[in-house]
Amino acid sequence: MFRGRDVVVLIAALVMVAVVTLALQRLPEVSATTVALALLLIVLGTATIGRLPIAILVSVAAMLAFNFFFLPPVRTFTIADPQNWIALFAFLMVAVIASNLSAAAQERTREAVARRNEVTRLFDLTRDVLLTTDTAGAIDAVARHVSRRFDIRRVAICLPGDHGWQLAQGAGDAIHLEAAVLDSAFAKARGTLEFDARQRAYGGHATAGAHHEISIVPLRHGMKAVGLLAAEAPGLDIGALDAVAGVVAIAIERAQFLADRDAAELVRQKADLAATLLASLSHDLRTPLTAIKVAIENLRGELPAADRRSQAAAASAEIDRLARLVQDILDMARVDAGAILVDRQWVTASDVVDAAIAHVQHATEGHPLDVTVTDDVEIEIDPRLTSSALSHLIENAAQYSAAGSEIHIVGHINAAGLSVTVTDHGPGLEPGELDHLFERFYRGGAARRATFGTGMGLSITRGLLAATGGRVWAENIPGGGARFSLVVPGAMRAVSVVEQL
| Per-residue pLDDT reduced to its tens digit, 279-297 | 556 655 666 778 788 888 8
Q: Please state, in angstroms and rounded to a whole number, the distance separating the CA atoms of residues 139 and 143.
A: 6
Per-residue model confidence (pLDDT) at position 455:
63
Identify whether residues 358 and 382 lie together within a single domain. yes
In a domain, 134, yes or no: no
Q: Which of 397, 452, 460 is nearest to 279 (CA)?
A: 452
The boundaries of the domain holding residue 72 are 4-113
Q: What amino acid occupies position 326?
A: V
Kindly tell me the number of DSSP H helices and DSSP E strands found in the chain. 12, 15
Instruction: Give the total number of structural domains in the chain.
Output: 3
CA dist 170 → 218, 232, 408 (Å): 17, 11, 56
Identify whether residues 375 and 327 lie together within a single domain. no
Q: Please state, in angstroms and rounded to a whole number, the distance separating the CA atoms of residues 415 and 413.
A: 7
Check pLDDT > 80 for residue 183. yes
Check pLDDT > 80 for residue 439. no
The alpha-carbon radius of gyration of the chain (Å, integer) is 42
Question: Cis omega before residue 73 (within 30°)?
Answer: yes
CATH of the domain at 329: 1.10.287.130
**How many other C-beta atoms are found inside a 10 Å radius of the C-beta of residue 202?**
20
In a domain, 428, yes or no: yes
Identify whether residues 72 and 84 lie together within a single domain. yes
Per-residue model confidence (pLDDT) at position 483:
92
Considering only residues 11 and 90, tell me which one the structure prediction assigns the higher pLDDT: 11
Rounded to the nearest 10 degrees, what angle do helices 4-25 and 52-70 cross at? 20
Residue 487, CA atoms < 13 Å, CB-side half-sphere? 8
Residue that terminates a domain, selected from 97, 113, 129: 113
* Local structure of residue 112 (DSSP, 8 states): H
Per-residue model confidence (pLDDT) at position 500:
38
Identify whether residues 390 and 364 lie together within a single domain. yes
CA dist 182 → 71, 179, 207, 234, 301 (Å): 68, 5, 10, 20, 85
Per-residue model confidence (pLDDT) at position 499:
38
**Could you give the maximum distance between any two Cα atoms of the chain, in Å?**
149
Interval 155-162 mean pLDDT: 85
In a domain, 172, yes or no: no
Interval 256-278 mean pLDDT: 72
Best mean pLDDT range from 77-81, 372-376, 479-483? 372-376
Check pLDDT > 50 for residue 363. yes
Q: Which of 389, 414, 401 is nearest to 473 (CA)?
A: 389
Q: Quick one: the chain helix, strand, coil %, rounded to 5?
A: 55, 15, 30
pTM: 0.46
Check pLDDT > 70 for residue 453. no
Identify whether residues 297 and 322 lie together within a single domain. yes
Per-residue model confidence (pLDDT) at position 501:
37
Compute the mean pLDDT over every residue in the chain, rounded to the nearest whole number. Answer: 79
In a domain, 212, yes or no: no
Decide: 453 and 443 in contact? Cβ < 8 Å.
yes
Interval 336-353 mean pLDDT: 84
In a domain, 222, yes or no: no
Considering only residues 408 and 239, tell me which one the structure prediction assigns the higher pLDDT: 408
Which strand (E) or helix (H) includes residue 483?
strand 482-488
Identify whether residues 348 and 463 lie together within a single domain. yes
Decide: 207 and 214 in contact? Cβ < 8 Å.
yes
Per-residue model confidence (pLDDT) at position 380:
94
Identify whether residues 330 and 347 lie together within a single domain. no
Interval 482-495 mean pLDDT: 92
pLDDT in tens, 103-114: 777 778 877 887
Interval 309-335 mean pLDDT: 74
Check pLDDT > 90 for residue 116. no
Identify whether residues 346 and 478 lie together within a single domain. yes
Identify whether residues 329 and 344 lie together within a single domain. no
Identify whether residues 332 and 344 lie together within a single domain. no
CA 310, 312, 317, 321 dihedral sign is positive
Identify whether residues 353 and 300 lie together within a single domain. no
**How many other C-beta atoms are found inside a 10 Å radius of the C-beta of residue 108?**
10
Q: Please state, in angstroms and rounded to a whole number, the distance separating the CA atoms of residues 186 and 129.
A: 24
Q: What amino acid occupies position 429?
A: L
β 407-414/369-373 pair status: parallel
CATH of the domain at 394: 3.30.565.10
Residue that terminates a domain, selected from 307, 336, 365: 336
Per-residue model confidence (pLDDT) at position 472:
92
pLDDT in tens, 47-84: 777 777 887 788 888 888 877 888 778 788 776 667 66
Identify whether residues 310 and 369 lie together within a single domain. no
Q: Which of 398, 391, 364 is nearest to 461 (CA)?
A: 391
CA dist 247 → 12, 119, 207 (Å): 45, 12, 20
In a domain, 257, yes or no: no
Per-residue model confidence (pLDDT) at position 381:
94
In a domain, 235, yes or no: no
* pLDDT tier at 396, thresholds 50, 70, 90: confident
Residues in CB range of 305: below 8 A, 6 or more apart: none
End-to-end CA distance of the chain: 95
**How many other C-beta atoms are found inside a 10 Å radius of the C-beta of residue 319?**
15
Beta bridge partners of 482: 476
In a domain, 323, yes or no: yes
* pLDDT tier at 153, thresholds 50, 70, 90: confident
Least confident of 18-22, 313-317, 324-328, 402-406: 324-328
Decide: 229 and 174 in contact? Cβ < 8 Å.
no
Check pLDDT > 70 for residue 333. no
Three-state helix/strand/coil letters over 383-429? HHHHHHHHHHHHHHHHHCCCCCCCEEEEEEEECCEEEEEEECCCCCC
3-state secondary structure of 190: coil
Residue that terminates a domain, selected from 91, 113, 135: 113
